[in-house]
């Protein structure tokens, strides 16, 4: 059972100015708001003076707060300039006598204390579970209730005598000025429910990056009189890898609310229906087959497919470091490990978590602010993937459509070497993707890299530029050793410029540096682990160019509708 007590703000001013008759009329109007919205079994009563009570059997705290907000909104919308309904028989056909133990004293005392807190801020709702009777309440009658108040039983008896005390008559309860209560320190400093809810609205799900209340992930909020706040949170799945992060974020946000002495976070798991609703909330559609957001005409996400002709040129290392550097600049970044057979991105980013699946929607793990998905997250151990072309295509399609990427600024795809099935599938699924070609200075590698870029002539994609990796090794005396020769990157740039008929620049040269390998093996990109190293600085310079590139709006939908006058 929930007990709601309501106080009419500034009622004494109305009563003093217009007399008891005017005060009665105002109360009748205000009482009509909850009376018109009660359910079977609910009871509406006037406790005396300017206070009303609503008894809500079988109602938990969350629903009680919702009902309180609805009733308050209904009262605020009233027109008090004329007459209105009264309380002579607020619930016709639902009369019943309440036993003396029907409303536990602990509930009325707790509700009374919260009403006192709500009065202090005016036009507020204060709610919470009962924990213990507050100490320090003065001016109480021997029965524990304040003088001048009616019990539910007395109110019911008065109604049956057809002489309602709030309408005058021999049983009228005289109005009294509100008693002043002296509360104990823990009660006085208890936080308001609105403040706790406002704090929770700042907590975002670490995978979806949307506020928990917006996603329906806040199950319940309970506030004890000693300032302890308990928040029940729904997880999308049992064993959610983000549960510790969610718990930490909720605790930190609620702890900052004035009056909170401690925070308890309880975790529950969404039902199938709740997960389906979450998916609809996130995707905004009930479509059975999700579309690829990056292929839509209005998408503002830049998609870079990082390609190479041969393996072993450091393409995955370049992809991971570009992603981390872009995220460091505040961009929202995602990485698809499209090298299905030779997946290595999770290791280089230090990702051990598995994706979370909500119905047919996949939440990608994150590292260093980068969302990442890889087939290696779905295979046990170091199990090889032995698939033909159609299976590869379907896997890439799922990575792009079923994974919830959110609003990305940049999406990087780490392609396998060469011009095989994956490169063709990416061209079909993401026709607007731009190609970055990675090569070494070796001329033999450069010739193969040229073919990887020239695929754009058949797929009608744009080649953004060429990145030369392992360009030289810096020796202790400051000289450079060109381990793989020189000129490969420039050669690929010139060849692709001639082939494609548009300038394909050499974006940068990255020196051979053991720190790149060490950082990758440790799961920490070198641009973050050792940003002052020569390789990290070269990667940062390339990133600057990519981050500041302007995207043209030619051929894109601007979402504008012409207006005719």
Q: Is 299 annotated as ligand-binding?
A: no
- What pLDDT does residue 562 have? 61
- Determine contact, residues 306/335, Cβ cutoff 8 Å: no
Q: Mean pLDDT throughout 476-487? A: 92
Domains of the chain listed by start with CATH number: 2-185 (3.30.70.270), 193-283 (3.30.300.130), 305-547 (3.40.50.300)
Which one has a higher pLDDT value, 97 or 544?
544
Q: Is 541 annotated as ligand-binding?
A: no
Looking at mean pLDDT, say which of 238-252, 321-335, 445-459 comes out highest: 321-335
Q: Which of 29-33, 112-116, 528-532 has the lowest mean pLDDT?
A: 112-116
| Per-residue pLDDT at 162 exceeds 70 | no
Q: Which of 52-56, 414-418, 478-482 has the lowest mean pLDDT?
A: 52-56
Q: Is 315 annotated as ligand-binding?
A: yes
Which one has a higher pLDDT value, 55 or 478?
478
Q: Is 219 annotated as ligand-binding?
A: no
Prediction pTM value: 0.58
Q: Which of 42-51, 229-238, 364-373, 487-496 has the lowest mean pLDDT?
A: 42-51
Please give the full DSSP string across 277-342, using - where no structure is assigned: HHHHHHHS---SS---GGGSTT---EEEEEEESSSSSSHHHHHHHHHHHHHHTT--EEEEE--STT
pLDDT (tens digit, 9 = 90+) per residue, 178-227?
333 322 333 445 788 999 999 999 999 887 888 999 999 999 999 998 89
- What pLDDT does residue 130 have? 46
pLDDT (tens digit, 9 = 90+) per residue, 460-476?
899 999 999 999 999 99
Per-residue tokens: 337: 């490990």
Q: How many Cβ atoms sit within 10 Å of the Cβ of residue 162?
A: 10
Q: Is 312 annotated as ligand-binding?
A: yes
Q: Is 259 annotated as ligand-binding?
A: no
Q: Is 371 annotated as ligand-binding?
A: no
Q: Mean pLDDT throughout 477-491? A: 92
pLDDT (tens digit, 9 = 90+) per residue, 240-287?
878 899 999 999 999 999 999 999 999 998 888 888 888 888 876 555
- What pLDDT does residue 332 have? 93
Distance CA 370, CA 332 (A): 7
pLDDT (tens digit, 9 = 90+) per residue, 85-129?
333 333 333 333 344 444 555 555 556 656 655 555 445 556 555
Q: Is 144 annotated as ligand-binding?
A: no
- What pLDDT does residue 140 have? 35
Q: Mean pLDDT throughout 71-84? A: 60
Region label for 215, one of left (φ > 0), alpha (ψ between -120 and 50) or beta (otherwise): alpha
Mean pLDDT of the chain: 77
């Amino acid at each position: 059972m929930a007990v709601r007590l309501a106080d009419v703000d500034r009622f004494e001013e109305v009563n003093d100015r217009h007399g008891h008759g005017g005060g009665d009329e105002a109360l009748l109007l205000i009482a009509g708001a909850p009376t018109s919205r009660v359910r079977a079994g609910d009871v509406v009563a006037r406790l005396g003076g300017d206070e009303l009570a609503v008894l809500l059997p079988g109602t938990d705290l969350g629903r009680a707060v919702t009902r309180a907000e609805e009733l308050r909104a209904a009262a605020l919308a009233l027109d008090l300039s004329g007459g209105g309904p009264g309380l002579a028989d607020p619930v016709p056909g639902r009369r019943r006598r309440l036993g003396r133990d029907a409303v536990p004293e602990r509930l009325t005392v707790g509700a009374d204390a919260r009403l006192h807190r709500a009065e202090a801020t005016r036009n507020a709702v204060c709610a919470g579970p009962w924990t213990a009777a507050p100490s320090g309440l003065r001016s109480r009658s021997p029965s524990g209730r304040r003088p001048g108040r009616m019990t539910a039983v007395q109110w019911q008896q008065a109604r049956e005598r057809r002489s309602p005390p709030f309408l005058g008559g021999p049983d009228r309860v005289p109005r009294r000025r509100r008693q002043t209560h002296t509360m104990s320190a823990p009660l006085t400093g208890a936080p308001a429910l609105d403040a706790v809810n406002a704090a929770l609205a700042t907590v975002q799900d670490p995978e979806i990056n949307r506020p928990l209340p917006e996603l329906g992930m806040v199950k319940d909020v309970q506030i004890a009189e000693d300032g302890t706040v308990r928040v029940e949170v729904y997880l999308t799945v049992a064993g959610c890898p983000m549960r510790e992060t969610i718990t930490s974020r909720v605790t930190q946000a609620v702890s900052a609310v004035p009056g909170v002495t401690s925070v308890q976070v309880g975790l529950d798991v969404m039902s199938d229906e709740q997960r389906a609703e979450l998916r609809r909330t996130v995707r905004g559609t009930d479509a059975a087959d999700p579309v690829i957001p990056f292929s839509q005409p209005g998408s503002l996400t830049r998609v870079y497919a990082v390609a190479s002709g041969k393996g072993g040129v450091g393409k995955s290392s370049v992809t991971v470091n570009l992603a981390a550097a872009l995220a460091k600049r505040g961009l929202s970044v995602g990485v698809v490990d499209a090298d299905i057979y030779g997946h290595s991105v999770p290791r280089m980013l230090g990702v051990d978590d598995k994706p979370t699946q909500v119905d047919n929607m996949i939440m990608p793990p994150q590292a260093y602010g980068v969302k990442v998905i890889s087939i290696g997250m779905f295979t046990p151990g170091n199990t090889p993937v032995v698939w033909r072309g159609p299976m590869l295509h379907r896997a890439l399609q799922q990575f792009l459509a079923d994974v919830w990427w959110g609003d990305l600024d940049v999406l990087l795809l780490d392609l396998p070497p060469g011009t095989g099935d994956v490169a063709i599938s990416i061209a079909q699924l993401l026709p607007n993707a731009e190609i970055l070609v990675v090569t070494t200075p070796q001329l033999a590698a450069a010739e193969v890299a040229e073919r990887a870029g020239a695929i754009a002539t058949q797929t009608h994609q744009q080649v953004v530029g060429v990145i030369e990796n392992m360009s030289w090794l810096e020796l202790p005396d400051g000289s450079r050793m060109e381990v793989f020769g020189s000129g490969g990157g420039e050669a690929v740039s010139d060849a692709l410029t001639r082939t494609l008929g548009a300038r394909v620049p050499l974006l940068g040269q990255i020196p051979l540096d053991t720190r790149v390998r060490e950082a990758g093996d440790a799961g920490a990109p070198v641009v973050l682990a050792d940003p002052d190293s020569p390789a990290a600085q070269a990667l940062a310079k390339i990133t600057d160019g990519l981050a500041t590139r302007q995207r043209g709006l030619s051929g894109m939908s601007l979402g504008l509708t012409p207006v005719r006058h």
